[in-house]
Amino acid sequence: MKTYRVAVLPGDGIGPEVMEEALRVLDAVECKYGFRTERTACHVGGAGIDHCGKALPAETLAACEAAEAILFGSVGGPKWDALPPDERPERGALLPLRRHFGLYANLRPGVCLPELTAASPLKENLISGGFDILCIRELTGGMYFGEPKFYGERDGEVVALDTLVYHRYEVERIAHIAFKAAMGRSGRLCSVDKANVLTSSVMWRDVFNELAPQYPEVQLSHMYVDNAAMQLARKPGQFDVLVTENTFGDILTDEMAIICGSLGMLPSASLCVREGNTFGLYEPSGGSAPDIAGQGIANPIAQILSMGMMLRYSFGETAAADAVDAAVRKAIAQGMRTRDLYTAAAGESLVSTRGMGDAVIAAL
Ligand code: NAD
């Protein structure tokens, strides 16, 4: 039987609670689709600091190295807020993991299910029927990493400087991921840039245009980032796959998260290619939600869908991944709602974290 190695890093706050449900769903899906996972559970974030003084303990990194994918919960919380910034759970664990593995492609599905449009701050007439967008953000290049950076005095003036630099290979590899993702969906790919102002965006656009003939099934369009931000709030349903550079992606994915309704519904994947395979870190888009941790009320769907993305992208278990997505949709269609989704409308049942896990497993 096919066996995949997974490093399981539940982390802090609601992380362990929602991870438990994702692993229960994984048990069920393995049984149904005839594969196995070999899981190594490790401390990370605040749990790592409490365990051995490090947000990313050496044994955790070693387990990630030995794995084919990382299933990550979330890290951080008030207990560790007084630590110096570089030692805190997020900076001390997530960023080093991204850097260590060169996870350059961040995939964030922004799905607003038809039954949950009331949870979105957008007017219902703009999103009736819901929407389903996949946003792909370049994660290791651009202004956040460009050198030089400078803040100081030059010629008697205080100056601050960041550098926005992209190498062609960085744009090419994210473009291939985006074209392939679009092929697996409706075939519509919108590349977001600022080519009317930024030189790096001119190259970005050139690369996408040059690669487009390799993907004749994909209909490529371009949009300036300021317009994309407006269009997302005006008519999100017009988009299928969006792809953009690091800084623009940071901003647009947060906009997308809020228009979808609850953070508890949104998974993510950060990918690279390692030894010819798609390696990834799969995690919910939200954080450790200390305000609700330990109460059994967190929504486990983002974690469950992150596990589904792992099956799809790292293991190529497409049927199993489709089944996870479908089971979540079914549980929602049946009216199952954790507290973040509950509006007390007719047909809704308020369920716990465990209750939502049970509903997804039953739907499988
Ligand atoms: P957060 O995402 O943890 O919470 C924001 C709000 O969304 C809270 O009201 C929370 O209850 C709610 N929420 C989030 N996930 C939910 C879920 N699954 N079900 C129901 N409600 C949910 O953001 P925050 O409050 O700004 O940060 C809390 C901690 O998380 C901080 O320590 C922060 O540094 C950390 N954080 C970690 C990550 C990560 O691990 N990737 C990301 C963001 C924030």
If you write DSSP's letter for every residue of 56-71 in order, what string do you get?
S-HHHHHHHHHSSEEE
User: Is 193 an active-site residue?
Assistant: no
pLDDT of residue 95: 87
In this structure, which amino acid lies at residue 200? S
Which of 17, 21, 72, 75 best tests ligand 1's pocket when mutated (most atoms within 8 Å of CB)?
75
State the closest ligand 1 atom to the C-alpha of 73, by its place in the atom list counted from 1. 40
User: Is 50 an active-site residue?
Assistant: no
**Active-site option among 86, 206, 254, 322:** 254
302 lines ligand 1 (CB under 6 A): yes
**Active-site option among 54, 132, 144, 224:** 144
State the closest ligand 1 atom to the C-alpha of 298, by its place in the atom list counted from 1. 19
Give the model confidence (pLDDT) of 57-115 as tens digits. Answer: 999 999 999 999 999 999 999 999 999 988 899 989 998 999 899 999 999 999 999 99
State the closest ligand 1 atom to the C-alpha of 303, by its place in the atom list counted from 1. 18
Please report, for residues 107, 123, 305, the alpha-carbon distance to residue 22 in angstroms, rounded to integers and kept in the order given.
Answer: 19, 32, 8
Pairing type for strands 241-244 and 150-154 reads unpaired
CA of 292 to the centre of ligand 1 (A): 9
Residue nearest to atom 38 of ligand 1 (CA): 287
pLDDT of residue 213: 98
Contacts of residue 244, defined as CB under 8 A and 6 or more positions apart, other chains included, come to 135, 136, 137, 138, 191, 192, 193, 225, 228, 252
Contacts of residue 296, defined as CB under 8 A and 6 or more positions apart, other chains included, come to 17, 352, 353, 354
**Mean pLDDT computed over every residue of the chain:** 96
Model's pTM, two decimal places? 0.93
287 lines ligand 1 (CB under 6 A): yes
187 lines ligand 1 (CB under 6 A): no
Say whether pLDDT at 15 is over 90: yes
State the closest ligand 1 atom to the C-alpha of 340, by its place in the atom list counted from 1. 20
Say whether pLDDT at 52 is over 90: yes
For range 138-151, the mean pLDDT: 94
Q: How far apart are CA 272 and CA 179, in angstroms?
A: 15
pLDDT of residue 293: 97
Cis ω before 148 (30° cut-off from 0): yes
User: Is 81 an active-site residue?
Assistant: no
For range 45-67, the mean pLDDT: 97
CA of 218 to the centre of ligand 1 (A): 36
User: Is 313 an active-site residue?
Assistant: no
291 lines ligand 1 (CB under 6 A): yes
Say whether pLDDT at 191 is over 90: yes
C-beta of residue 69 within 8 angstroms of C-beta of residue 279: yes
In this structure, which amino acid lies at residue 11? G
User: Is 169 an active-site residue?
Assistant: no
The closest alpha carbon to 166, from 130, 137, 131, 204, belongs to 204
301 band by pLDDT with thresholds 50, 70 and 90: very high
